[in-house]
């Protein structure tokens, strides 16, 4: 079952960030992010929506592929179905709530945000980039330690056209993520840099940042840096 946590600053809202953290990130993580980012969100007139997909490996994977760990689950390729639900049901419901709470929009819950951003950690970061190619709903994308090693994903990006509304993209990895013994996941840095190149060729401003550590080292700090980077463009 999907879950959402909505944070709104004490100002009129113009922009909204939708962010998929990973299953290991809890409501406490969401609270820490909001505490660190509250002033940035207020200054940029942005709301933060923390999302949890119903099934991580199904809802956020672009297509079916085998598991990467022997005790894990196969990826079911449900991203298109989940993206449809996100765009047609989840986001409209959330924005009705947000804009009805926004002082300047009490009379108009149908108003659209100026910038609608999407981000995520790990598989959430993969899904965020994928969404930028499958819908025109988002203007900015954040992929923090994104699972861009995903089989065939770099080729998909190379041969596809992103949304014409997509303006900026932030990509980051830990500098030890490529050192994994798993040969598929070891391609993550190579693929991420390739994808950055493809995005730039398509006219999108793309930033890449290397962080110390493995996949989950200082994950909250990485998410905060990524979100602040995108907010600087607003």
> Looking at the predicted structure, is the pLDDT value of residue 223 above 70?
yes
Assess whether pLDDT exceeds 80 at residue 45. yes
Domain boundaries, the chain: 3-231
pTM for the full predicted model: 0.94
Predicted confidence at residue 35, as pLDDT, reads: 96
Return the sign of the alpha-carbon dihedral for residues 121, 127, 133, 138.
negative
Q: Is the pLDDT of residue 196 over 90?
A: yes
- The token pair that represents 230 in the structure block: 């995108």
Residues comprising the chain, all counted:
234
- 107-144: string of b/e by CB count within 10 Å (b at 16+)? eeeeeebebbbbbbbbbbbbbbbbbbbbbebbbbbbbb
176-193 per-position pLDDT tens digit: 999 999 999 999 999 999
pLDDT over 90 for what percent of the chain? 79
Pick from 57-61, 101-105, 126-130, 176-180: least confident: 101-105
Report the chain's mean pLDDT, rounded to a whole number: 92
Q: Does domain 3-231 have CATH number 3.40.50.1820?
A: yes
What does the pLDDT look like over 78-123, one tens digit per residue?
A: 999 999 999 999 999 999 988 876 555 444 444 579 999 999 999 9
């Amino acid at each position: 079952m999907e879950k959402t946590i909505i944070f709104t600053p004490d100002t009129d809202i113009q922009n909204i960030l939708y962010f998929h953290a990973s299953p290991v990130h809890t409501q406490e993580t969401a609270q820490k992010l909001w505490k660190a980012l509250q002033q940035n969100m207020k200054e940029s007139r942005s709301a933060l929506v923390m999302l949890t997909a119903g099934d991580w490996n199904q809802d956020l994977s672009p297509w079916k592929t085998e598991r990467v760990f022997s005790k894990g689950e196969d990826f079911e390729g449900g991203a298109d179905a989940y993206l449809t639900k996100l765009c047609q049901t989840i986001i409209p419901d959330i924005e009705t709530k947000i804009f009805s709470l926004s002082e300047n929009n009490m009379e108009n819950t149908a108003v659209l945000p100026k910038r609608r951003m999407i981000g995520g950690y790990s598989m959430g970061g993969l899904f965020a980039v994928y969404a930028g190619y499958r819908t025109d709903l988002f203007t900015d994308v954040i992929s923090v330690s994104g699972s861009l090693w995903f089989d065939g994903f770099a080729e998909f990006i190379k041969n596809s056209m992103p949304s014409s509304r997509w303006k900026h993209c932030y990509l980051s990895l830990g500098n030890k993520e490529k050192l994994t013994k798993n040969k598929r996941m070891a391609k993550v840095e190579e693929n991420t840099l390739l994808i950055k190149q493809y995005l730039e060729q398509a006219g999108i401003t793309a930033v890449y940042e290397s962080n110390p550590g493995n996949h989950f080292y200082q994950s909250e700090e990485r998410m905060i840096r990524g979100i602040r980077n995108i907010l600087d463009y607003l």
